[in-house]
Structure 1
Amino acid sequence: MEYETPLFFRVIEYASRADRDVIDMVSGKPDWEPPSAVRDGLSEYATHPSDAFQYPPSEGLFELREEIARRRGVDTEHVVVTNGAAEANYLAMACALERDRGDEILLTDPVYPYYPGKTTMLGGTQSFVPTDATGQLDPAAVRAAASDETAAIVVNSPNNPTGAVYPAETIHSLVAIAEEYDAILISDEVYDRYDLSGEFESALAAKSNHRVVTNAFSKSMAITGFRVGYAIFPPKLAASAKSRHMLVNVTASRPAQYAALNALRETDPEYYDGNRALLRERVETFTDALEAAGASYTTPMGSFYVMARFEEYPGTLENVFRLIDEAGVAGMPGEAFGDSRAAWVRFALVTPRVEAAAERLAAFFE
């Protein structure tokens, strides 16, 4: 089985070799400060006795799992702490496929590229359900695509790359479809703290044994390098997920889990409110400049990405390389996210140089 190097790495590598200053709008790495309690937790951990530097429980520190469970209204035994949301999604997809209920994974188009890659790695087959122009997913289209071969339906809200936020009726309908076909709805909610619409609904609101919710502290606490995520499994999948997690990773970082737990307990809501306010300002600044440049664009209702379409400039890898060389702005080619957005380029608003990037793009396309 052959795997392609993800386009993210190819773009980042190309930008790093550029002969000019390049504004990085490729990766979803928040540029703002983590909660102060993260640093406090790390400092405190350094003073712990030596046994605290050994393996933690494989499924995660009990106190962290307990805190997550309390906040999410679930049983602690259903929570598995993972190496970021990436592993959480891998575990969820693997558990869905190993039930011998078919090998099809239903994905959206556009799609976060790692979902198709994981599907291939796990021996599943991919099918895609188109979203509308705003990134919204029609449950009727999902139902029409589902079959007895459907093992899982994978969705992401708030969405990367479109910024769509699925309303409650969509989420509950998707859970119902999963139940109808004995499939697993996998709801990746890693951007839940960046809901700008007020309409976000977690799949946990639907009480069901046919849904898995994945998340991480990577984005919400601006600690992508800590690799602390989690998945909430229904009882019938939790034991299998824990076994696979142990075989693949053994466990996640103990100090990072401790710091995340400290931040969960000590961080006020104002921290998250401030980051959303900053993001709203950046969305307005960037989209205003795109409009002045005559570009089409998406206005995100959540997450921190804007997709832009420039006339007669499709979102190919070659054109993204040209933007790096000639405009000094690095984005992601739309073709990385599926056929429906191949004409677009995705930009991550996680840089204080958003206004400068917009000005460079406007000058390039004038």
Structure 2
Amino acid sequence: MVKALAKLFQAPEKNIMAEIGKTAALMTDVIDLSIGDPDLATPAPIVNAAATAMLAGKTHYTASAGDPEYLQAILDFHHQNFGSHYQMENVQATVGASHATDLAFGALLDPDDEVIIFEPYFSPYKVQVEQYHAKPVFVTCQAADNFQPQKAAIAAAITAKTKAILVNSPNNPTGAVYDQETLQAIADLAKQHDLYLIADEVYWPYVYNDHEFVPLENLAPERTLVTGSLSKVFAMTGFRIGYLLGPKEVVSAAGLLNEGVTYTAPSMAQSAGGFGLQNVTELVEPLKNEFSQRLAYLGEELNQLSWAKTIPVAGSLYLFLDISGSGMDDVEFSDYLLEQAGILVIPGQAFGTSGKGFVRIAATQEMAVLKQAVAGFKSLSFASQKITE
């Protein structure tokens, strides 16, 4: 008889997002508004850059930290767009942002350390913290506050064991964009308690309706780790390319950890990503405009439902819809929506207990499909509705 699995996986919690991902892959004739994979094609110039790199022989390992050209493109991008002054010693190429976040946790966390995470939250964060035998501490954000974290609640969660605060803005799943005041309060708390900040900013271009993306790195550069990804920025999820930016000693430790994980990010993806960052304005604007129109449409139409409501669209690719007025919980509602209208969404509970009563809708289908989806939502009827004010 073989010995048991790691304790973390002996009785794992139900992973709603993973289960829905499997469902989406197996089903046909379904309007899939679940997984955040943009339907838009990767811009042709980026694809051509990858093909050109491969034809030129860039099909081998790069340096473990990354191809210098790709790393320089990251540094130039952050300097030109956010005014930061990182050097080569501050950057590591990664296989997407989740890899970068995992490396950041691995470099920072000892057993029993605590990481503050704002809930609702991107579900992989929890396991990433726990795999290093550390503890995620959740601070609930309320719809009444437009899902902005509140300073008093964050301060109350800080203990002697707190090592870092994870900040995801624009936010997945809520679509919130944290304002300057909120982020300054978080930075002030980090300085006061000598904490690290981990800034997941993968949706940075997708900010709408006069909201503004505020780079956390500018408020506390000496303690901020940026986990970047090009997956959503350029609709290149399959390229699996991102980066980690931050203080030299943390990035160096993350690089040592990565030696035994992936060693290096894919060389051709680095070439493609570097090209994208060098031409970011031209390539991103059409994508941003498309998602802005889609989310505005979904928000306007779904807010007409007597049993649903949402906060005004601020950013990301998602709408977080309050369906509590339907009389169902979010899991029941999601099942009912799939059964009655053939629409796949993610129940809010996938993002923590405070997501109960919500569903996340990804605007990752063309407008014609979204119109079909809206018609499906409007066709629903409920035996018992609790209309919310």
Report the TM-score when normalising by structure 2: 0.88
Structure 1 match to 2:266 = 253
Cα offset, 1:10, TM superposition: 0.8
Letter in 1 for 2:337: L
Cα offset, 1:17, TM superposition: 4.2
Report whether the alignment pairs 1:323 with 2:323. no
Report whether the alignment pairs 1:11 with 2:20. yes
Report whether the alignment pairs 1:356 with 2:372. yes
Q: How many residues align?
A: 359
SS at match of 1:175: helix
Unaligned runs of 5+ in 1: none
Alpha-carbon distance change, 143 to 235 in structure 1, aligned in 2, over 3 angstroms:
same
Residues 56-104 of structure 1 deviation map (CA, whole Å, 9 limit, x = unaligned): 1111111111111122131121111101000111111222214x7x511
Of 16, 33, 38, which aligns to 1:25? 33
Structure 2 match to 1:208 = 221
Contact in 1 for aligned 2:190/2:197 (Cα 8 Å): yes
Cα offset, 1:198, TM superposition: 3.5
Report whether the alignment pairs 1:67 with 2:73. yes
Contact in 2 for aligned 1:324/1:330 (Cα 8 Å): yes
Question: Which has the larger displacement, 115-124 or 223-232?
Answer: 115-124
Letter in 1 for 2:62: P
Q: Please give the alpha-carbon distance, in whole angstroms, between the structure 2 residues aligned to 1:38 and 1:81.
A: 18
Structure 1 match to 2:129 = 119
Structure 2 match to 1:313 = 328
Structure 2 match to 1:298 = 311
Cα offset, 1:224, TM superposition: 0.5
SS at match of 2:237: coil
Cα offset, 1:322, TM superposition: 2.9
Structure 2 match to 1:333 = 347
Cα offset, 1:6, TM superposition: 3.0
Q: Please give the alpha-carbon distance, in whole angstroms, between the structure 2 residues aligned to 1:186 and 1:365.
A: 43
Contact in 2 for aligned 1:299/1:306 (Cα 8 Å): no
Contact in 2 for aligned 1:11/1:321 (Cα 8 Å): no
Cα offset, 1:143, TM superposition: 1.6
Alpha-carbon distance change, 46 to 121 in structure 1, aligned in 2, over 3 angstroms:
same
Structure 1 match to 2:361 = 347
- Equivalence map 1:162-241=2 (5 Å): 162-196=174-208, 197-241=210-254
Report whether the alignment pairs 1:78 with 2:87. no
Residues 276-313 of structure 1 deviation map (CA, whole Å, 9 limit, x = unaligned): 22122111221222122221123331101111123212
Letter in 2 for 1:249: T
SS at match of 1:219: coil
Cα offset, 1:4, TM superposition: 4.3
Q: Please give the alpha-carbon distance, in whole angstroms, between the structure 2 residues aligned to 1:46 and 1:15.
A: 32
Identity %: 29
Contact in 2 for aligned 1:66/1:76 (Cα 8 Å): yes
SS at match of 2:227: strand
SS at match of 2:239: coil
RMSD across aligned positions (CA) = 1.8
Letter in 2 for 1:55: Y
Alpha-carbon distance change, 362 to 106 in structure 1, aligned in 2, over 3 angstroms:
same
SS at match of 1:306: strand
Q: Please give the alpha-carbon distance, in whole angstroms, between the structure 2 residues aligned to 1:16 and 1:260.
A: 27
Cα offset, 1:16, TM superposition: 4.2
Structure 2 match to 1:38 = 46
Cα offset, 1:220, TM superposition: 0.4
Contact in 2 for aligned 1:218/1:228 (Cα 8 Å): yes
Cα offset, 1:244, TM superposition: 0.7
Cα offset, 1:272, TM superposition: 1.9
Letter in 1 for 2:127: G
Q: Please give the alpha-carbon distance, in whole angstroms, between the structure 2 residues aligned to 1:210 and 1:148.
A: 17
Unaligned runs of 5+ in 2: 1-6, 79-83, 383-389
Q: Please give the alpha-carbon distance, in whole angstroms, between the structure 2 residues aligned to 1:16 and 1:81.
A: 29
Q: Please give the alpha-carbon distance, in whole angstroms, between the structure 2 residues aligned to 1:243 and 1:125.
A: 23
Report the TM-score when normalising by structure 1: 0.93
SS at match of 1:345: strand
Contact in 2 for aligned 1:293/1:365 (Cα 8 Å): no
Of 58, 61, 73, which aligns to 2:64? 58
